[in-house]
Amino acid sequence: MRTIKDRYAIVGVGESERSRKSGTTPLHLALDAANAAIKDAGLKATDIDGFMNYNEGDSCTSHQLATYLGVRPKYVKDIQGGGASTEMLIADAVALIEAGQLNTVLIYRSMNGSSGTRVGRGYDPDMLQGALAGGSFVIPYGSASPSQWFGMYATRHMHETGITKEHLGHVCLSFYEHAQRNPKAFLHGKPLTMENYLATPDISSPFNIHDSCLELDEGNAIIVTSAEKAEDCTSKPVYIMGMAARQCHPHAHYWNDIDHVASDYVAKELYENAGVTPDDIDVASIYDCFSWVVMRQLEAYGFAKRGEVGEFVAEGNLKIGGKLPTNTAGGMLSEGYTHGMNNAIEIVRQLRHDYDGTARQVEDCKIGICTGWAGPDIAGAMILRN
């Protein structure tokens, strides 16, 4: 198989304003994000010939976005999906450029995730197979939302490895601290202490509101092209060293085996493709729909051994200045939530050193990892460099 290492790059990133109530449409948010990414790359809208998005029935189509940008696209793709879809669509864009079908692709996620369709709402009335595949195995027993599904995994993992509620709190405190350095983070100006964290009642054990991702109205966009085309952009390209776009749990009904998650199967291929090891990673964007999801991925991607993840985060290693600065804009727990694309945007900016001279920049970072998590059943990741 031909390697893609360093032959493709992310050349533009952008986002709309984020809020609880945008007062506008997902199309408008997508236009704001797309125009910001196009400006960031130093391109014209007509330089883009492919448009892709992922959604949960809550967004505009790629064709609509292209039309309102004044582009007749050669290729459009709209998929149903959430977490890990950023990495998958970047891989799809690379494949289409490699095949000679496209030159430059804009990928976006736009949603009124607070004022419009919210996560966990709008399922089919039967609430069994309609909510998720195999839902009849868990929903009748009271597990009917993402916090409950993932909480089941978290409780088991915490029991086996010694992770405590305080350890979950250290993940939250690290990301909230990063949000205080990011004026665009939704929870900027709202720091969190361990005392306040522990005093907050659970929504669904072991998660309270701080352990859970924000639900907001916002749009994000990323532009991908070849290394050759990247030379024509005004931005500093961030090169794709390697990817593992979409790995799966061995069983579609993944609660059949809650000791394993799809991320466990991603790492080996990812590091081999990129030609690096966990020790080479300077900065990370780790999918954080819930705090425990970060901890389970730290284990899966080899940053801490099983049974040692709790101490790893308690020592402050996720903070800027730690061993693995992670989700440096605040992540989905405290910056915003577009099923992971905002985390991908942040790692691009870190690797470009957009924040040089400020307390927000990870010093001397050259290589970063960005992970996606659709659930315990599906995951993907990519490794990038400057």
For the chain, percent of residues with pLDDT exceeding 70? 95
Point out the residues that are catalytic: 287, 337
Q: Which residues of the chain have pLDDT under 70?
A: 1, 118-133, 255-256
CATH code of domain 143-214+238-386: 3.40.47.10
pLDDT tens digits along 173-190: 999 999 999 999 999 999
- Cβ-in-10-Å burial (0-12, 13-18, 19+) of 58 comes to middle
| Token pair listed for 192 | 């969190």
CB count within 10 Å of CB 323 equals: 16
Bridge partner list, 379: 247, 373
Packing angle of the helix pair 85-98, 341-352 (nearest 10 deg): 70
Domains 6-119+216-235 and 143-214+238-386 share a fold: yes
Which residue type sits at 232? D
Q: Specify the pairing of strand 50-55 against strand 238-248.
A: unpaired
What integer pLDDT is reported at residue 266 of this predicted model?
96
d(CA 235, CA 201): 45
What are the residue ranges spanned by the domains of the chain?
6-119+216-235, 143-214+238-386
pLDDT tens digits along 264-314: 999 999 999 999 999 999 999 999 999 999 999 999 999 999 999 999 999
d(CA 289, CA 215): 10
Which residue type sits at 115? S
Of 337, 274, 267, give the one whose Cα is nearest residue 114: 337
Please state the separation of Cα 244 from the chain's center in Å.
14
d(CA 365, CA 350): 7
Q: Are the C-beta atoms of residues 131 and 124 closer than 8 Å to each other?
A: yes
What integer pLDDT is reported at residue 121 of this predicted model?
52
For 104, list phi and psi in degrees, rounded to 5.
-145, 135
| Angle formed at CA 256 by CA 254 and CA 259, multiple of 5 degrees | 80
pTM of the predicted model as reported, rounded to 2 decimal places: 0.95
Strand residues in the chain grouped as ranges (E): 8-15, 50-55, 75-80, 104-112, 202-204, 207-208, 217-226, 238-248, 283-285, 367-375, 378-385
What integer pLDDT is reported at residue 129 of this predicted model?
57
| Token pair listed for 226 | 């070849």
The helix/strand count (H/E) of the chain reads as 12, 11
Residue 100's contacts (CB-CB under 8 Å, 6 or more residues apart) are none
d(CA 303, CA 319): 14
| Token pair listed for 50 | 């492919």
What integer pLDDT is reported at residue 260 of this predicted model?
86
Q: Are the C-beta atoms of residues 142 and 274 closer than 8 Å to each other?
A: no
User: CATH classification of 6-119+216-235, choosing from 3.40.50.261, 3.40.50.720, 3.40.47.10, 1.10.3720.10?
Assistant: 3.40.47.10
What integer pLDDT is reported at residue 119 of this predicted model?
60
Peptide bond into 206 cis (omega under 30): yes
For the chain, helix, strand, coil in percent to 5 are 35, 20, 45
Residue 156's contacts (CB-CB under 8 Å, 6 or more residues apart) are 258, 259
